[in-house]
Structure 1
Amino acid sequence: MTGRGGVVLMFGAALVCALLSRWLGVGLLAGAGFAIACALAAFATRPADLLTIAVSPPLVFFLATVLAEIADALGDGSLLRALTVGLLTSLASTAPWLFFGTLLVLVITMVRGLPANVRELRGKLVGVRLFEKEDNENPVRWDESPTTTAERHLHHGDVD
């Protein structure tokens, strides 16, 4: 699957597991579902897109947690209070799962070829900088004279 597909897999599983965790009252479900989805995405993503999968778990986890809390807080009286308290509590209680899922993705993608992707990206970036002329290059050269060395420099009193 592509890198985008892996991110969608992680997001969908994290969101569904987070919602089920809140509705069923099983706190373990949100974190374990996210970690399993991270492992599946890291194994199923094609090697060319491993860099995308390696950097996305924290953002995916945060967005899934926010959306699950919004869905859970909709029926409460004070939406802002319920959302704030619920989001802080959810992020604090599931933070170890976030770290575990991110570490799991990094380990799996390292074994599958992430260092080669990083080297390839670094090579592309260096290649772009070598052949690109700087836009902020100094257009005025104070050390260069507007006349050539073959021309005679006249003193201010001399007239040609």
Structure 2
Amino acid sequence: MSRSTVRDAPEGASPSPGGPVRRQRGASGRPKAESSSAAPVTLTGRGGIVVMFGTGLVCALLSRWLGVPLLAGGGFAVGCVLAAFATRPADLLTLAVSPPLVFFAATFAAVFATTLGDGSLARGLTVGVLTALAATAPWLFFGTLLVLVICLFRGLPENVRELRDKLAGVRLFEKEENENPVRWDESPSRRERRLHHGEVD
């Protein structure tokens, strides 16, 4: 081993005999920390539903105050896209079936907030909700379609298969329990005794 090899070796590195110096990086954890910090934010299924509801509610309130029905439907569609991209793949099935209910809840909350204190609450709610749903129904279907398409590309079929396998396993387990019940009165020892006494007789 030559002296130049030992001199060129950085601190904390041990020169290997008969070969070049292998550098040992003490800061090997830095790339992992950077990659973990740069990871995209993922939401649970409930988090995605909250995003859809919050966006739909804010836009529905703005549309009623400003008199622009298009704002409620467009905001709900934007919330659907954000939730579909931000939700983790394991909860896509929960998110895919929730847009109609979330849309109705956001519309009802917006109508309730803007109708409160204006005469008959029941009449105002009924008329306001029906009018809002009629004006923004196409956006509901559009937002639901966007969620389904995005979730299909992000792994929704796998979630459906897992759910189907779980249901099939539960049904099979219940079927096996029903077909082979435990009979305490017909124990093997009693059967052997009966056969033994029958042969002696």
5+ residue gaps, structure 1: 140-147, 153-160
**Does structure 1 residue 46 correspond to structure 2 residue 88?**
yes
* 1:145 aligned partner: none
| Superposed CA RMSD | 2.4
Cα distance in 1 for partners of 2:91, 2:114 equals 34
Residues 19-52 of structure 1, C-alpha deviation per residue, up to 9 Å, x if partnerless? 1110111111100000000011001111111101
| Displacement after TM superposition at 1:132 (Å) | 2.3
| Displacement after TM superposition at 1:83 (Å) | 1.1
Cα distance in 2 for partners of 1:17, 1:107 equals 23
Cα distance in 1 for partners of 2:176, 2:101 equals 33
Counterparts of 1:100-115 in structure 2, within 5 Å, are 100-115=142-157
Aligned residue among 129, 133, 143 for 1:91: 133
Compared with structure 1, are the counterparts of its residues 136 and 73 closer, same or farther at alpha carbon in structure 2 (3 Å cutoff)? Answer: farther
**Does structure 1 residue 57 correspond to structure 2 residue 120?**
no
Q: Which has the larger radius of gyration?
A: 2
* 1:21 aligned partner: 63
5+ residue gaps, structure 2: 1-42, 182-190
Cα distance in 2 for partners of 1:58, 1:85 equals 19
**Does structure 1 residue 8 correspond to structure 2 residue 50?**
yes
* 1:127 aligned partner: 169
Cα distance in 2 for partners of 1:124, 1:75 equals 50
Q: TM-score, with normalisation over the residues of structure 2?
A: 0.67
Q: Which moved more, 1:127-136 or 1:20-29?
A: 127-136
SS at match of 1:75: coil
Q: How many residues align?
A: 147
Aligned residue among 50, 74, 98 for 2:116: 74
Cα distance in 1 for partners of 2:139, 2:69 equals 11
Cα distance in 1 for partners of 2:153, 2:131 equals 34
* 2:30 aligned partner: none
